[in-house]
Structure 1
Amino acid sequence: MTKRQPLSDVQVQAQLPAGWAGDAREISREFTFGSYQAGVDFAVRVAQAADQSDHHPDLLIGYKRVKVMFSTHDAGGVTALDIAGAQAVNGL
């Protein structure tokens, strides 16, 4: 299996990192912060990590919260790259 091969729902569920939810189409997690600026700072760190790995999530920045969403668009769903990205975000 290649890193860009879509995973099944069962495979995604078995590999989801702590705090993440989703299915074979997309995985996501919402993070909360004490201030808007803390959320923006976190989003910047996510973006920097994504640039280093060359695999970029969608980010939704709200007031004191940031939602991070992974899906490998050219593969049509969640791949091992997305699982690895979610694990990396958990490590921030």
Structure 2
Amino acid sequence: MAYDPRMAYDRDRLLTDGDVQARKAPGWWGDDGRLWREFAFDTYQAGVDFAVRVAAHAEEGDHHPDILIGYRKVKVTYFTHDAGGITDLDIAGSQAVNALYGA
């Protein structure tokens, strides 16, 4: 994501691409300033239940990913809006979501 000075991002919190690749949780992808993973489920309801657990965790930590529910899959995307990219909060979020998934 290109830096836009009008957004007043806190750029000091951003991780480098190398840091993201080295520290991201297993199964996650980092590109275009976002960290994401798609999770597969046996049923639609299992995916919805997982999304609810991710949302509850996000509320507890006050750091909210985008959650896209599809048929037997859920895509979770982290991005720290006020920094304009991936930060330590997103790395921690990816690790926590993997733990919720059991991966």
TM-score scaled to structure 2, two decimals? 0.83
CA–CA distance in structure 2, aligned partners of residues 10 and 89 of structure 1: 21
Give the corresponding residue for 2:28.
Answer: 20
Q: Could you say what the CA RMSD is over the residues aligned between the two structures, in angstroms?
A: 1.1
Moved over 2 A (4+): none
- 1:44-86: per-residue Cα shift (whole Å, max 9, x none)? 0000000011100000100000000001011000000000000
Match of 1:39 among 40, 43, 47: 47
CA contact (8 A) 1:55 1:81 kept: yes
Q: Which ranges in structure 2 are unaligned for 5 or more consecutive residues?
A: 1-11
CA–CA distance in structure 1, aligned partners of residues 40 and 31 of structure 2: 22
Q: Which ranges in structure 1 are unaligned for 5 or more consecutive residues?
A: none
Give the corresponding residue for 2:18.
Answer: 10
Which structure is larger by alpha-carbon Rg, 1 or 2? Answer: 2
Give the corresponding residue for 1:49.
Answer: 57
